[in-house]
Structure 1
Amino acid sequence: MRKSTWIRQHLAALRALLVLTVITGIVYPVAVFAVAQLPGLHDKADGSLLEVDGKVVGSSLIGQSFTDSDGNALAQYFQSRPSAAGDGYDPLSTAAGNLGPEDVVDSAPDAPSLLTTVCQRSKEVADREGVDGSRPFCTADGVGAVLSVIGPRDAHGEVSHPVQVVSVNEACPAQPFLATYRGVRVDCAEPGQDYSVGRIVPIPGDAPADPEVPADAVTASGSGLDPNISTTYAAIQVARIAKARDISEEQVRAVIDAHTSGRTLGFLGEPRVDVLQLNLDLDRRYPYRG
């Protein structure tokens, strides 16, 4: 290849680079920014920020916690769903817990399984709201109701004749949630012992199939930033809010209705309530005087 041809090719490549840099790096971003400033789009483009007395208090698109410095729920506010994003609702750490339905055995007292986490949250919500927190596969104390059934197995992997049964999520000296299983006494779990040799059997118990504490009250969203809760979760918080703010439950329900959105496009998802906007409106209409 002659030198002059080589130079022309590289000059053409350089011109293409400069033109594309101007178009994609300057013209396109400026055009998008200009369109975003049009009436009706400006607030959304800037993050759907919400202000109170000129101070930004959050975004209608990102949830936040309504707790005190110790993580306890503030009685005067509706509570959001749990979050696995950083320390909770951190946009820089948006994530889910990446745990699935088979995560039922606690790794350690400070490392509960997904099942036990759900059971604990259900009990906490029930105690706070004064409702029934029982749910399938959970003990009354809020841990996963899971047994390790140890013994010889048949061709299908089932334990044909149990010789030992251990409630793996209830460390000794706890009293197991079940006295016997298939005629064998259920033991508490000795700390440090490995019971994976047994067949892991979650026990549904006699809790209702449709728990009073809804799923969004005990599980985090995929992003960890969901600003909404279900109307069911909002409904079980009404009595607490009304008592804390010294207003009627009907007044609280009216505010909920004002911040409830229907299904997207009329058929996608479920009705939902934006927690931040709901709590801000409560503060505006019925200031907390505790």
Structure 2
Amino acid sequence: MRFSTLIRQHVAALRALLVLTAITGIVYPLAVFAVAQLPGLRTKADGSLVEANATAVGSSLIGQSFTDVGGTALAQYFQSRPSAAGDGYDPLSTAASNLGPEDIVDTASRKSLLTQVCARSRAVGDRERVDGSRPFCTKGGVGAVLSVIGPRDADGEVSHPVQVVTVNEACPAQPFLDTYRGVRVECAEPGHDYSVGRIVPIHGNASAHPAVPADAVTASGSGLDPHISPAYAAIQVARVARARNVSAEQVRAAVDAHTTGRTLWFLGEPRVDVLQLNLDLDHRYPYRG
């Protein structure tokens, strides 16, 4: 290849680089920015920020916690659903827990999804003064799960149990069940592996329709859901009313004002905007505690 041809090819490549850099690096970003400033788009483009007293207090798209520095729920505020994003509602760590319904046995390093749900349900029940029990949970707030050890039949069922251990209740805890199939239930010795047994979750006598709704004990897929269900909001009304020294009817009216129905009347579920609701309550009925 002649030297002059090589020079021309490099010059053409450099021109293409400069033109594409100008288009994709300068013109296109400026055009997108300009369109985003049009009326009706600017607020969304800037992050859908919510302001109170001329100060940004959050985003309508991202949930947040309403707790004190120790993580205790503030009585005057409606509480959001749990979050698996970072330490909770971290917009830089949006994620789900990736734990599924078969995650029912605690380990030394973490609590199972079932135990997390049970513990949250008990805590919410205590806070809202409703029944926090739910199926497959012990009264102590852990997963009601047994490891049944013994010889198995052709179908893998334990034909004659010789040992039964409540795997999520470490000794010296009192097992949630006295006996199972005629065998005394034991607490789990720390550090012991009971996976040799057949893992059996116990339904218990809790209602199939718990007073504490599912969104109060499980995180959303993004971990940033800014909404809760009307059912979760409903069990919080009495607490918030007491804290703000107003009637339950007044608080319920505020909840209704910030409840949105299904999108296009058939997509999704009705939902309550927690941030907007709490800001509205601060404006109408300031907390005097």
* Structure 2, unpaired ranges of 5+: none
- CA–CA distance in 1 between the matches of 2:47 and 2:146? 48
Judged with a 3 Å threshold, the aligned counterparts in structure 2 of structure 1 residues 136 and 36 are, in CA distance, closer, same or farther, namely same
Q: Which residue of 2 aligns with 1:142?
A: 141
AA at the equivalent of 2:83: S
Q: Which residue of 1 aligns with 2:274?
A: 275
Runs of 4+ in 1 over 6 A off after TM superposition: none
Render the CA deviation track for 1:218-267: whole Å, top value 9, x for unaligned.
01112111111111100110011111111111111111111111112221
Q: Which residue of 1 aligns with 2:76?
A: 76
Q: Which residue of 1 aligns with 2:157?
A: 158
Q: Which residue of 2 aligns with 1:182?
A: 181
AA at the equivalent of 2:242: K
* Structure 1, unpaired ranges of 5+: none
Q: Which residue of 2 aligns with 1:107?
A: 107
Instruction: Verify: 1:37 aligned to 2:68, yes or no.
Output: no
- CA–CA distance in 1 between the matches of 2:75 and 2:48? 27
Q: Which residue of 1 aligns with 2:46?
A: 46
Once superposed, what is the RMSD of the aligned Cα atoms? 1.2
Secondary structure, aligned partner of 1:201: strand
Identity %: 82
- CA–CA distance in 1 between the matches of 2:210 and 2:41? 41
Instruction: Verify: 1:128 aligned to 2:127, yes or no.
Output: yes
Secondary structure, aligned partner of 1:157: coil
- If the length of structure 1 is used for normalisation, what is the TM-score? 0.96
Q: Which residue of 1 aligns with 2:166?
A: 167
Q: Which residue of 2 aligns with 1:289?
A: 288
Secondary structure, aligned partner of 2:186: strand
AA at the equivalent of 1:251: Q
- CA–CA distance in 2 between the matches of 1:73 and 1:190? 33
Q: Which residue of 2 aligns with 1:266?
A: 265
AA at the equivalent of 1:168: V
Secondary structure, aligned partner of 1:92: coil
Q: How does 1:202-241 map to 2 (within 5 A)?
A: 202-241=201-240
Q: Which residue of 2 aligns with 1:20?
A: 20
Instruction: Verify: 1:246 aligned to 2:231, yes or no.
Output: no
Secondary structure, aligned partner of 1:20: helix
AA at the equivalent of 1:176: P
Per the TM alignment, residue 181 of structure 1 is displaced from its structure 2 partner at its CA by 1.2
- CA–CA distance in 2 between the matches of 1:60 and 1:35? 21
- If the length of structure 2 is used for normalisation, what is the TM-score? 0.97
In the comparison of the two structures, how many residue pairs are matched?
289
Render the CA deviation track for 1:163-222: whole Å, top value 9, x for unaligned.
111000011111111111112111111111110111111111121222111111001112
- CA–CA distance in 2 between the matches of 1:245 and 1:268? 35
Q: Which residue of 2 aligns with 1:62?
A: 62
Q: How does 1:185-200 map to 2 (within 5 A)?
A: 185-200=184-199
- CA–CA distance in 1 between the matches of 2:149 and 2:5? 79
AA at the equivalent of 1:158: E
Per the TM alignment, residue 14 of structure 1 is displaced from its structure 2 partner at its CA by 2.1
- CA–CA distance in 2 between the matches of 1:162 and 1:171? 20
- CA–CA distance in 2 between the matches of 1:6 and 1:153? 78
